[in-house]
Chain A
């Protein structure tokens, strides 16, 4: 009896498994995986989406194909694009999403929503703002890979060793949904035939407000996270610069006068190596001079930058979250009102570890 019941159970399970337990198949060579998507502003209600998909050829070379469609919803655009594609379009290998500056000014919150809801889209997706139309950037081919992979490699490389802070969809959503901080995105533009990272686009909520000044990029990254392999151009006098390389930074927040009006002190530690200079040898005195100068320059840049953030009522550095973690009974609204008038001190400490091989 027991044996018969067991056999019946096994047969039932097998029948159910084969009969009903089917998952739609997405066989690798029967799908088109879009690698980048770009959104442009058409009018208040309609957006234009551009998808880039790599075409893999049997001889191991990769081609590029671009599709464009306009609709109110971004998921609908994917459907429209699917009508023009010979294979099923899927978005699980999306690497980069671009938003034109014009669109970003209108707010991109609704567009991010679709990326966040779709489980097949990676949280490590890179977002970026383009200086011009996203379609124009995506319809060209750069390098030997397809445009999507190229863009993601470009951004990733600049996050690892360049001046762009590490920032992906996950972190964007974190700052976007937080009341106390505001998101930012890398800004991409075209320069002749090539594509390059122009700077950093600052957001207030989901709207683009301003782009970060070129000379504030280093201090911006240093105050957000640890810089591991940075470079810094130090101005000694007019037309006389020094390159500091292999920079490692570390920063610490201190909050005083917690009860009424907090006062923030940021201590920044910078270690670096002198790699390029002009003129005579650098002796001990000169190194000391460079050190002092760099500290001063970093402090001015930092304070200037934070002042400009306070004026715009934006907080991409997340100062609010830093204060909240150090203050008991923290009140969001009170802080937001205080924020433009908070005093922020920046204290930089520079160490020159080395000044070259021969010197």
Chain B
């Protein structure tokens, strides 16, 4: 394990191309053969597991067999490829071979060779988004191939200003990472922050974009996501046009968006596809659901343990009679139920869909009713905990849901310790953390603090497009105007 973390791999001594081939031959999937029957004999080597054999058979071998080659440079003339590379640079050859090129030599010991790209392109079909599914709007989701993903974005933004910077990160995985932004809109500072952080990144393996987000986030110890991961190319195109910076990682079906503010965690991209009244209502519901989800169980515990005065007299009968036979104090009761729900969620997430449904039925109905019948939990708390769990799933960003479910436990503990005062203290700590948090150096709580009235138009509520003539202020875009408002509101009759 230890050698994976070594920052500088030991330098190999310089050796010839032939030595390289000999070394690669140790691997079972490396093919190295000689064809002496042709007009001009040649040597061919490639990794069988990386190249597309069809290309080799159809586009390379027939041409080589037919023509007599005098020098290696002739390969460029006879092969129907636009980028045949003639080189003797060892590093380039090594990289190209490992990315699926075919190496052609005229003699086995030649230093110069021709490299022809014939990599196997395997990628699954573009499917519908599953985590960020929306009823209205396009139904394309990113896949694992970076070329497909970039294509999905570029087709939505066919402009020359869309810039893509590529990096290779990971000493073992050599993962391609692309940074996307629109020149002239995105703030230089944001772009530079992302690029610098990626350049300075030294890691052994990048398997998914979540690796990148964990490594370059402003505060790695925070529960809150500081970059949004999305699987919707339309969302990516949308935020690029606002001035955000997007990171796309090869092998990952999620793109990263930054900088973000906390309000964007409550925004589903579907909000832009439905009219603004509904979108605003849904966003309000989500904000309410999140606060409800975090606070309702702690408040239940605090009120039942310390503040019996707060219970309205009409609710008293229901609450007291449901708790009369419960042997546990409210705190333990709540913790056990919360853990049960977490258990169900975790078990459901680890199992295949069909078994997961059974888990839901067993957990929800059988355990739930049995626990109430046995007098182990009160049915009021059961309803509260179930509602809180349900509310935590309303967040459109999956990682935010996890954050909310985990946040509940410190609140519960404080409620048990000091009642409502404890909840207030926990809330202060949370607020303190959020106020200090930044996303790529931009304040995380932005439209709320620092207060930016202009950005409230697209935060908790979403006003109609006609009022959104400016790009979000917190991204500090180079070009503030989305469109010219007075021009847009000109009404032209059809017969004019």
User: Within 8 Å of chain A (Cβ to Cβ): is B316?
Assistant: yes
CA distance A28 to B419 in the complex (A): 13
Q: How far is the CB of B418 from chain A (nearest CB, A)?
A: 6
Q: How far is the CB of A359 from chain B (nearest CB, A)?
A: 41
Contact A28–B308 (Cβ < 8 Å): yes
A-B contacts, CB under 8 A, total? 66
Contact A56–B316 (Cβ < 8 Å): yes
| Interface membership of chain A positions 122-153, coded 1 if the CB is closer than 8 angstroms to chain B and 0 otherwise | 10000000000000000000000000010010
User: Within 8 Å of chain A (Cβ to Cβ): is B317?
Assistant: yes
Given known pairs A23-B419, A56-B316, the reply for A31 and B321 (CB within 8 Å) is no
Contact B313–A95 (Cβ < 8 Å): yes
Of the listed stretches B100-108, B113-121, B322-330, B401-409, name the one at the interface; the rest are far from the partner chain.
Answer: B322-330
| Interface membership of chain A positions 5-25, coded 1 if the CB is closer than 8 angstroms to chain B and 0 otherwise | 000000000000110011101
Contacts of B326 in A (CB 8 A): 29
Contact B324–A149 (Cβ < 8 Å): no
Contact B321–A93 (Cβ < 8 Å): no
Which of A27, A29, A62 counts the most B-chain CB atoms under 10 A from its CB? A29
| Interface membership of chain A positions 302-336, coded 1 if the CB is closer than 8 angstroms to chain B and 0 otherwise | 00000000000000000000000000000000000
User: Within 8 Å of chain B (Cβ to Cβ): is A90?
Assistant: yes
Contacts of A280 in B (CB 8 A): none
User: Within 8 Å of chain B (Cβ to Cβ): is A33?
Assistant: yes
Contact A25–B321 (Cβ < 8 Å): no
How many B residues face the partner with a CB closer than 8 A?
23
Contacts of A29 in B (CB 8 A): 320, 323-324, 326
Contact A56–B321 (Cβ < 8 Å): yes
User: Within 8 Å of chain A (Cβ to Cβ): is B64?
Assistant: no
Given known pairs A17-B417, A23-B418, A60-B317, the reply for A28 and B309 (CB within 8 Å) is no
Contacts of A90 in B (CB 8 A): 308
User: Within 8 Å of chain B (Cβ to Cβ): is A110?
Assistant: no
Contacts of A54 in B (CB 8 A): 316
CA distance A2 to B403 in the complex (A): 28
Question: Given A17, A60, A149, which contacts B321 in the complex, CB threshold below 8 Å?
Answer: A60
CA distance A116 to B417 in the complex (A): 28
Contacts of A22 in B (CB 8 A): 417
User: Within 8 Å of chain A (Cβ to Cβ): is B318?
Assistant: yes
Question: Given B308, B324, B325, which contacts A33 in the complex, CB threshold below 8 Å?
Answer: B308
Contacts of A28 in B (CB 8 A): 303-305, 308, 311, 319-320, 323, 330
Q: How far is the CB of A194 from chain B (nearest CB, A)?
A: 21
Question: Given B304, B305, B324, B418, which contacts A56 in the complex, CB threshold below 8 Å?
Answer: B324
Q: How far is the CB of A319 from chain B (nearest CB, A)?
A: 36
User: Within 8 Å of chain A (Cβ to Cβ): is B18?
Assistant: no
Given known pairs A26-B306, A26-B308, the reply for A149 and B325 (CB within 8 Å) is no
Contact B304–A60 (Cβ < 8 Å): no
CA distance A64 to B320 in the complex (A): 14
Contact A93–B417 (Cβ < 8 Å): no
User: Within 8 Å of chain B (Cβ to Cβ): is A120?
Assistant: yes
Q: How far is the CB of A308 from chain B (nearest CB, A)?
A: 37
Given known pairs A28-B308, A29-B320, A33-B308, the reply for A149 and B419 (CB within 8 Å) is no
Contacts of B323 in A (CB 8 A): 28-29
Question: Given B311, B313, B317, B329, which contacts A27 in the complex, CB threshold below 8 Å?
Answer: B329
User: Within 8 Å of chain B (Cβ to Cβ): is A92?
Assistant: yes
Contact B330–A27 (Cβ < 8 Å): yes
Contact A62–B317 (Cβ < 8 Å): yes
CA distance A82 to B313 in the complex (A): 22
Q: How far is the CB of B379 from chain A (nearest CB, A)?
A: 11
CA distance A23 to B317 in the complex (A): 26
User: Within 8 Å of chain B (Cβ to Cβ): is A117?
Assistant: no
Contact B313–A149 (Cβ < 8 Å): yes
Contact A58–B321 (Cβ < 8 Å): yes
| Interface membership of chain A positions 86-116, coded 1 if the CB is closer than 8 angstroms to chain B and 0 otherwise | 0000101101000000000000000000000
Q: How far is the CB of B329 from chain A (nearest CB, A)?
A: 6
CA distance A149 to B329 in the complex (A): 27
Contacts of B324 in A (CB 8 A): 29, 56-58
Q: How far is the CB of B422 from chain A (nearest CB, A)?
A: 9
| Interface membership of chain A positions 51-78, coded 1 if the CB is closer than 8 angstroms to chain B and 0 otherwise | 0001011111110000000000000000
Contacts of A23 in B (CB 8 A): 306, 418-419
Contact B308–A92 (Cβ < 8 Å): yes
CA distance A18 to B330 in the complex (A): 18
Q: Which of B153-187 contact A (CB under 8 A)?
A: none
The 5 nearest A-B residue pairs measured at CB: A92-B309, A56-B320, A29-B323, A28-B304, A58-B324
Q: List 15 A-B contacts (CB under 8 A).
A: A17-B417, A21-B417, A25-B306, A26-B306, A27-B330, A28-B323, A29-B324, A29-B326, A33-B308, A33-B316, A35-B313, A92-B309, A93-B313, A95-B313, A152-B313
- Residue numbers of A with Cβ under 8 A of B are 17-18, 21-23, 25-29, 31, 33, 35, 54, 56-62, 90, 92-93, 95, 120, 122, 149, 152
